[in-house]
Amino acid sequence: MYSFDIQRPTTVADAVAALATDEALPLGGGQTLIPTLKQRLSAPSVLVSLSGIAEMKGVCTGDDGALCIGGGTTHATVAREAASSYPALASLAGHIGDPAVRNRGTIGGSVANNDPSACYPAAVLASGATVVTNTRSIAADDYFQGMFATALNEGEIITEVRFPVPEKAAYMKFEQPASRFALVGVFVAKYAEGVRVAVTGASEDGVFRWTEAEAALSSNFSADAVPAAPSGDGMISDLHGSGAYRAHLVAVMTKRAVAAAG
């Protein structure tokens, strides 16, 4: 790793102030950023650890019934505390990485990084969640802007993610067996207004909504209604699977998710 200073603010305001420094980077749980720093792919002058900010941790239900998760909440905490209110989301959180990683990794860190194979972006997009930062609220449809790209500005911190709770939902992922990242993961959420289907791991543009499946499932919520697999064009192709294979998995995982949602 290159040299850097580390700061541990205890309030969002202090973290924002610390991030105003040139070349400062926020540090969530570090389960992606620390390996990146070790590979010298990132060279911050200051690392602002968000793990000491109590106001950014926890799971609660808002006045509008939405599930509100603090940006600094670990996957393990979401798996435990969202289990009764939003089981599909809790199950997703409980299957990220491994137990030790889940005790450190945070929802804010995952959503800010927007890895094209991460699980959380699928839940955020399929739930039509709202990403709340220290300055504004961003709708999920506007937030994700391609692989590792988001609407966040420099120094902007995700303080909370608000999930409208669906009538039915499930997340199914086909794991890359070594990394446990999603080779393809599909989150299906059924709301009174319609069904949303978000796919991670597959597209070169990062997480996306499979609108064809949404339309079909909104009129008939059953695995048989899932359309034929989308085209493999623009799908990630690597040693773990071709674009066509991933496209095939999109339909398979969607069917399994609909079946699991009931």
CB of 2 to another protein, least distance (A): 7
Q: Residue 95 or 209: which CB sits closer to another protein?
A: 95
Q: Pick between residue 51 and residue 113 the one whose CB is nearest to another protein.
A: 51
What's the min distance (Å) between Cβ of 241 and another protein? 21
Nearest-angstrom CA–CA distance, 158 and 27? 12
Query: Cα dist. 76→59, 82, 124, 200, 224 in Å?
Result: 12, 10, 17, 21, 34
Nearer to another protein among residue 31 and residue 150 (C-beta): 31
Min dist. Cβ of residue 256 to another protein (A): 19
Task: Summarize as ranges the residues that interact with another protein (CB under 8 A).
Answer: 1-6, 8, 27, 30-31, 34-35, 37-38, 46-47, 49, 51-52, 76, 97-101, 103-104, 180
CB of residue 51 to another protein, shortest distance in Å: 6
97 is written with which tokens? Answer: 């990485």
Number of H helices, E strands in the chain: 10, 12
Count Cα atoms within 13 angstroms, Cβ side, for 66.
16
Cα–Cα distances in angstroms (integers) from residue 85 to residues 24, 41, 90, 222, 227, in the given order: 36, 39, 9, 23, 30
Toward another protein, which CB reaches closer, 10 or 135?
10
